[in-house]
């Protein structure tokens, strides 16, 4: 299976005029790169993603898993990139027709028999309740978020990228960045699948808002603790409650908020 790709730049420079409060100066600014990527699945157009052109194989792999097209990386027979033209060509060993047909259809259903919500049919098939025994302390939450922000050099340069990390209780294992917060998580998911990484004792640290789609991705990945420096939505919290995911938000300086399943945060027991 050929899955190698040459790295693509995720930032570029732009000539600007900047007003500093007293005068206008000419300068150069660092800008996040935004590019389209059309995913061709078994020769047919499947989806077009708008993304930051880095870790593209991870993104495609994680996106296919998130959409219910694959469960394991071995289901991908070949993956070839034409990043200069904006294409990713994927051939699967077996494509389930139901998955293909239901990708863009909404489904009204119950999550774990409780919250009645609207979301994609394939989410109903692939989202799962998480049962991890991992616990964190509040200082560990602060440490992981600080580490994530410390590795976010591209965000500091551009102000335009989201960051996600797969972590142990004490350290970051891998980070991924993208203009889209969902893409950043799909890149993490793809890395997990390609590296066959166990997630039973892992944590997700995340820079963006915790939406329902973010919680569903955490559920599909199988990680039971989701840390964010930002806010959650009400639907995200209802899904997190039903899916067994601990959401900790607004992790900033010496404050944080535990929203769901507080039993995994030692001081909240």
**Pairing label, strands 106-111, 115-120:** antiparallel
Helix 212-221 crosses helix 56-66 at what angle (to 10 degrees)? 100
Percent of the chain that is helix, strand, coil (3-state, to 5) = 30, 35, 35
Long-range contacts of residues 129-133, Cβ cutoff 8 Å, at least 24 apart: 129/219, 129/242, 129/243, 129/244, 130/218, 130/219, 130/222, 130/223, 130/224, 130/243, 130/244, 130/245, 131/224, 131/244, 132/200, 132/201, 132/223, 132/224, 132/225, 132/264
Both ends of the chain: CA-CA distance in Å? 47
Is 141 a known active-site residue?
Answer: no
Which residues are catalytic, by number?
112
């Amino acid at each position: 299976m050929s899955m190698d790709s040459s790295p693509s730049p995720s930032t570029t420079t732009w000539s600007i005029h900047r007003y500093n409060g007293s005068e206008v100066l000419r300068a150069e600014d660092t800008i996040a790169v935004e590019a389209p990527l059309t995913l061709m699945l078994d020769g047919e157009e499947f989806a077009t993603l708008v993304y930051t052109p880095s870790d593209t194989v991870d993104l495609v792999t994680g996106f296919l898993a998130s959409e219910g097209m694959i469960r394991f990386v071995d289901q991908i027979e070949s993956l070839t990139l034409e990043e200069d033209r904006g294409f990713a060509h994927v051939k699967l060993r077996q494509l389930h027709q139901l998955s293909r047909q239901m990708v863009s259809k909404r489904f009204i259903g119950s999550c774990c028999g409780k919250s009645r919500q609207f979301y994609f049919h394939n989410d109903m098939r692939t989202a799962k309740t998480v049962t991890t025994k991992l616990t964190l302390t509040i200082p560990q939450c602060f440490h992981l978020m600080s580490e994530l922000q410390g590795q976010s050099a591209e965000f500091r340069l551009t102000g335009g990228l989201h960051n996600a990390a797969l972590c142990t209780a004490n350290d970051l294992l891998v980070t991924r960045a993208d203009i889209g917060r969902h893409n950043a998580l799909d890149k993490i998911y793809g890395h997990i699948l390609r590296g066959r990484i166990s997630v039973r004792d892992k944590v997700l640290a995340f820079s963006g808002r915790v939406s329902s789609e973010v919680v569903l991705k955490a559920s599909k990945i199988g990680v039971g603790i989701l840390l964010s420096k930002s806010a959650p939505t009400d639907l995200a919290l209802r899904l997190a409650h039903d899916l067994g995911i601990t959401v900790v938000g607004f992790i900033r300086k010496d404050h944080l908020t535990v929203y769901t399943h507080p039993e995994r945060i030692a001081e909240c027991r």
